[in-house]
């Protein structure tokens, strides 16, 4: 997308003498969401995007969040300032406004991809979430909401949060398969729990989080232990209890539907979530109001967690184990 001489010029804006440009990493999602990552001198990554949600203010939020992670011993590659002391450099090209920023190359490797989630390693990772919330809750919050947000919209949500979008797609699938009774109960449950959450959310403790703890964003040291984080593009403020329950969620596998009943899958999800959740609460004490909200947040999460909704829709469309999906959802409704 960008020529070598352009990258050299943009590097100078950040007081970098560019002598080597590595292989472009293109993670674009169309003309209006272009994302280009250029390795510079094997020391930096130059990130260029035309995403309108990327602003100077948001990068300053990320920079402060890096400081908070550093304060609890979690390493994050730092952002480099432009020569005018901003973190963002903007320019026009071919009718688009591009935003350019530079991040140090991480000094650790990312966690290797795995076919299935390693929950013991995930517990090790989640310990830092409790430490962060314990130290920084309700302090200098970002105006940007995280990807987990309910009701309050994250940057790429237009008129409904992501959980509602996922829930709606599950409802459409169930309706198409004739499960009208379950659909009605799910709609009533969703409306009731969202009302309770909306009434309580103004007083629930919040913190700013990285917001996307998948393996490609988690750094490990030479011994394979959790050491740091990269990629803060989905970071933002989140209600603590919502963040905790989402990050501790079990990713249901297709094998579960082959070997377990719907009720057993529900119980397995609860057990694994509780175990992961304990890693967070080993460093953060829930208050009474947070404890009271667990049930309603989980009703929403269990019926709208994207990986699990995607699998449930696939199971329903295939037909073989669809009654187990309904049994699982009935357990959620009755919880």
pLDDT of amino acid 10: 97
Lowest-confidence pick of 83-92, 149-158, 194-203, 279-288: 149-158
Return mean pLDDT, the chain.
96
* Residue of higher predicted confidence among 116 and 131: 131
Question: What is the residue extent of each domain of the chain?
Answer: 4-105, 119-334
Tens of pLDDT, residue by residue over 256-270, are 999 999 999 999 999
Tens of pLDDT, residue by residue over 293-317, are 999 999 999 999 999 999 999 999 9
Q: What is the DSSP letter of 95?
A: T
pLDDT of amino acid 52: 87
Q: Is pLDDT of 115 > 90? A: no
pLDDT of amino acid 114: 87
- Tokens 């990258």 locate to 7
- Residue environment code for 234-253, b if the CB has 16+ CB neighbours within 10 A, otherwise e: bbbbbbbbbbbbbbbbbebb
Mean of the pLDDT values across residues 177-194? 98
Tens of pLDDT, residue by residue over 133-150, are 999 999 999 999 999 999
Name every residue whose Cβ is closer than 8 Å to that of residue 134 and which is 6 or more positions away in sequence. Answer: 283, 284, 285
Task: Compute φ and ψ for 59, nearest 5 degrees.
Answer: -65, -35
Same fold, 4-105 and 119-334: no
- Tokens 């011993």 locate to 73
% of the chain with per-residue pLDDT over 70: 100
Name every residue whose Cβ is closer than 8 Å to that of residue 40 and which is 6 or more positions away in sequence. Answer: 7, 11, 16, 18, 20, 21, 22, 46, 102
Q: Is pLDDT of 1 > 90? A: no
Residue whose C-alpha is closest to residue 274's, from 67, 126, 94: 126
Most confident of 25-29, 157-161, 274-278: 274-278
CB 229 within 8 A of CB 217: yes
CB atoms within 10 A of CB 58: 21
Tens of pLDDT, residue by residue over 2-24, are 999 999 999 999 999 999 999 99
- Specify the CATH number of the domain 4-105: 3.30.200.20
Q: Is pLDDT of 205 > 90? A: yes
CB 185 within 8 A of CB 193: no
Name every residue whose Cβ is closer than 8 Å to that of residue 117 and which is 6 or more positions away in sequence. Answer: 251
pTM of the model: 0.93
Cα(162)–Cα(150) distance, rounded to whole angstroms? 8
- Specify the CATH number of the domain 119-334: 3.90.1200
Q: Is pLDDT of 46 > 90? A: yes
Cα(296)–Cα(201) distance, rounded to whole angstroms? 12
């Amino acid at each position: 997308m960008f020529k070598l001489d352009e990258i050299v010029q943009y590097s100078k804006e950040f007081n970098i003498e560019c002598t080597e440009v590595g292989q472009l990493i293109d993670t674009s999602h169309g003309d209006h969401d272009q994302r280009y990552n250029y390795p510079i001198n094997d020391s930096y990554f130059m990130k260029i995007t035309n995403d309108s949600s990327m602003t100077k203010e948001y990068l300053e939020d990320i920079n402060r969040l890096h400081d908070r992670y550093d304060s609890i011993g979690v390493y994050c590659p730092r952002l480099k300032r432009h020569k005018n002391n901003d973190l963002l450099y903007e320019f026009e090209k071919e009718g688009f406004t591009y935003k350019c920023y530079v991040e140090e190359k991480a000094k650790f490797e990312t966690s290797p991809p795995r076919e299935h989630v390693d929950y013991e390693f995930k517990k090790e990772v989640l310990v830092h979430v409790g430490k962060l919330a314990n130290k920084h809750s309700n302090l200098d919050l970002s105006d940007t909401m995280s990807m987990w947000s309910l009701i309050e919209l994250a940057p790429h949500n237009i008129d409904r949060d992501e959980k509602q979008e996922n829930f709606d797609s599950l409802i459409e699938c169930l309706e198409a398969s004739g499960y009208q009774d379950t659909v009605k109960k799910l709609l009533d449950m969703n409306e009731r729990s969202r009302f309770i959450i909306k009434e309580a959310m103004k007083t629930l403790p919040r913190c700013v989080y990285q917001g996307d703890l998948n393996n490609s964003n988690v750094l490990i040291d030479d011994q394979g232990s959790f050491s740091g984080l990269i990629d803060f593009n989905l970071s933002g403020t989140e209600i603590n209890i919502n963040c905790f329950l989402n990050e501790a969620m079990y990713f249901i596998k297709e094998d579960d539907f082959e070997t377990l009943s719907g009720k057993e899958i529900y119980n397995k999800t609860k057990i694994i979530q509780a175990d992961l959740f304990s890693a967070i609460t080993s460093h953060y004490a829930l208050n009474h109001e947070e404890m009271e909200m667990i049930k309603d947040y989980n009703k929403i999460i269990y019926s709208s967690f994207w990986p699990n909704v995607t699998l449930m829709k696939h199971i329903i469309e295939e037909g073989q184990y669809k009654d187990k999906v309904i049994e699982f959802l009935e357990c959620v409704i009755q919880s």
